[in-house]
Amino acid sequence: MMAQPSKMKVQFWGVRGSIPTAGRDTFEFGGNTACVEIRVPDQDILIVDGGSGIRNLGIALNKEFQANPLSLHLFLTHFHWDHIQGLPFFEPLYNGANRVTFHSGRAPAESREILEGQMSTPYFPVNFELLTAKREFVRACPGVFRHGPLTVEAFPLNHPQTAVGYRFECNGAVVVHASDCEHGDKKLDSVLRHYAQNADVLIYDSQYTPEEYEIKKGWGHSTWLEATEVAKEAGVKQLVLFHHDPSHSDQMIRENVDRARLRFENTIAAQEGCSIEL
């Protein structure tokens, strides 16, 4: 019997939060900041966030597609540095044959202004206007994006200056991305559980341990413990701990996974270079 083609593939290019972290103690899980690639059959390529990991994604896309034009949809959770700092180094933006659609929780003109700002003098030598790819800006939240069999629903998260989560659904497979969210807001906690309902994969902000969270309340991040509660209550099949703290070594991340598995068995930690196929 021939193997069934995958309905959706998730690849991790950056899994850290706050700041890139390089060193022997972070080699296993990776030190690049947030960037996740999602592929669905015969559809445009989807990307969540443009942290430093997007640089390696751009190199890989150029190698794979070479001279063929790319149509990319970049879903930004928000505009904090660790989620956009790789965009000036994303090679597909420098190819005029490519098209990149930016989805975010802000108005199109505001999104463009923010991205222009990080590449303006004196912060970067190449101006945003010199990027030759065709660019479009779309407000994602509130809203639903449809493309063939693919549906993307955006929903609000509890984070300073706000952030957006995304539910990707295609051919019966569901991936939910909920990074940079802090638990404790009853309304938004309920919203998250609604959109995470019955997800095949939940990628969840687990930056802190429960002990760390006690002194970092209000910083906009959650814990591996809360991740397991969301996964259980929403009927999630696979939980992925994401947005690892820059101070967390590979050993500490492994320990967090072990502790989480005592509460929700099907838990893994996001690892740079690794993928999940549904």
Q: The domain 9-277: what is its CATH number?
A: 3.60.15.10
pLDDT for the residue numbered 7:
85
pLDDT for the residue numbered 5:
60
The residues spanned by each domain of the chain are 9-277
H runs (alpha helix) in the chain:
54-65, 81-84, 108-118, 186-195, 210-213, 224-234, 250-261
Give the whole-angstrom CA distance, residue 50 versus residue 184. 27
Tens of pLDDT, residues 119-139:
999 999 999 989 999 999 999
Predicted model pTM: 0.96
pLDDT for the residue numbered 44:
84
> Which amino acid type is present at position 244?
H
pLDDT for the residue numbered 4:
58
Q: For residue 155, give the H/E element and its range.
A: strand 150-157
pLDDT confidence band for 42 (50 / 70 / 90): confident
pLDDT for the residue numbered 41:
85
Residue 2 has pLDDT above 70, yes or no: no
pLDDT for the residue numbered 3:
52
Give the whole-angstrom CA distance, residue 16 versus residue 227. 16
Question: What percent of the chain clears pLDDT 70, i.e. is strictly above it?
Answer: 98
